[in-house]
Amino acid sequence: MQSRILFICIAVFFLSSCAKTRITDHPDWSKYYEQYGIKNACFILRDNNHEAIHYYNLKRCQERLSPASTFKIFNSLAALETAVAPDDQLVIKWDSVKRREEWNKDMTMAEAMKVSCLPYYQEIARRVGPTKMKHFLDTVKYGNMKMEGKIDNFWINNSLQISADEQAGFVKRLYFAELPFSERSQRIVKNMMLREETAGYRLYYKTGTYETKEKTTYWVVGFAERIEHVKEDKESMNKVDVRNYPYFFAQNFDMPTGNESQDWYKVRLDIMRQLLKDYGAIKN
């Protein structure tokens, strides 16, 4: 048993210490995937409030895969840090090549993040350039840090790879502005990731999809803030009556390419929400 705990502590790279961090396997979370016939999946959740890590399918959580469009988080940081993008309102003109309808227009970086516009971010990467991009990859230690092929496709050609546990660690550092980028750059990117906001929670995430002839991998990476209202004692130095409790997560699963039995883009978000609600990170 002790050797198993030691193995997990070494394997999950972002743990600060085994003594302070609780690690829990949730084989019961398989039900969320089995209901859709998904057999190869993983989910990892870091509960910062209790210094705990919860996961489903540890081996898969440690497997490095192409980040696909989840790399737009990193790409945005690089653009802001180099002043390629002065802010999230940088407009890049549409090149008039018809692709997806939602991409076929001039757009800002905030808009491009929301619709996951690949051509926009390919141009961003070209403007940042390979030297600076590689510097940031190495400094952050993002996944395997590989940049093979062209500057505008290394995150979609299976050169660059990152695991779910590394993704969860990456967005945690983003949330607390601990990445080697300015606080301003990290704050702007964090705000661009906000997709849902209610009285009880905020949900920030980025999806990604990597397709081969045999299988398609569906990613979603991000963090949730559970919002609690408290009544402070009159003598308390803290006069704010709102508390934000963050949870960091990453999920991916595979389905055979061409399988259209479900809207897998929607399913990945539905499962993510079910798991976050199951744990209590977001409220109904």
- Written as one letter, the residue type at 198 is T
pLDDT for res 106: 98
The token pair that represents 138 in the structure block: 């190495």
- Sheet of 22-25: strands edge to edge? 22-25, 52-56, 40-47, 242-256, 215-229, 201-211, 194-197
- What are the residues facing 228 on neighbouring strands? 243
DSSP 102: G
70 and 114 fall within a common domain? yes
pLDDT for res 6: 38
Q: What is the pLDDT of residues 55-112, one digit of tens each?
A: 999 999 999 999 999 999 999 999 999 999 999 999 999 999 999 999 999 999 999 9
Is 80 exceeded by the pLDDT of residue 257?
A: yes
Residue 109 lies in a domain: yes
153 and 230 fall within a common domain? no
The token pair that represents 6 in the structure block: 């030691």
- Written as one letter, the residue type at 138 is D
Residue 186 lies in a domain: no
254 and 209 fall within a common domain? yes
Residue 177 lies in a domain: no
Number of domains in the chain: 2
CATH number of the domain within which 253 lies: 3.40.710.10
117 and 36 fall within a common domain? no
Point out the domain boundary residue: 146, 162, 178.
Answer: 162
149 and 125 fall within a common domain? yes
Candidates 162, 273, 170, 172; CA nearest to 217 is 162
Point out the domain boundary residue: 162, 185, 210.
Answer: 162
19 by Cβ neighbours in 10 Å (0-12 / 13-18 / 19+) ranks as exposed
Residues 209-233 have a mean pLDDT of: 91
Residue 132 lies in a domain: yes
145 and 201 fall within a common domain? no
Is 50 exceeded by the pLDDT of residue 278?
A: yes
Residue 41 lies in a domain: yes
pLDDT for res 243: 87
70 and 49 fall within a common domain? no
Residue 13 lies in a domain: no
Return d(Cα 205, Cα 246) in angstroms, integer.
Answer: 13
36 and 89 fall within a common domain? no
Q: Count the Cβ atoms, other than its own, within 10 Å of residue 25.
A: 13
Tell me which residues are annotated as active site: 69
φ and ψ at 202, to 5 degrees? -125, 140
Is 90 exceeded by the pLDDT of residue 14?
A: no
Return d(Cα 259, Cα 279) in angstroms, integer.
Answer: 30
Domain range for 116 is 66-162
The token pair that represents 81 in the structure block: 């840090």
Q: What is the pLDDT of residues 23-35, one digit of tens each?
A: 999 999 999 999 9
- What are the residues facing 24 on neighbouring strands? 54
24 and 99 fall within a common domain? no
118 and 47 fall within a common domain? no
φ and ψ at 57, to 5 degrees? 70, 75
Residue 176 lies in a domain: no
* Whole-prediction pTM: 0.90
Q: What is the pLDDT of residues 170-186, one digit of tens each?
A: 999 999 999 999 999 99
140 and 78 fall within a common domain? yes
Residue 127 lies in a domain: yes
96 and 127 fall within a common domain? yes
Which pLDDT band holds residue 52 (cuts at 50, 70, 90)? very high
Contact 41, 272 (CB under 8 A): no
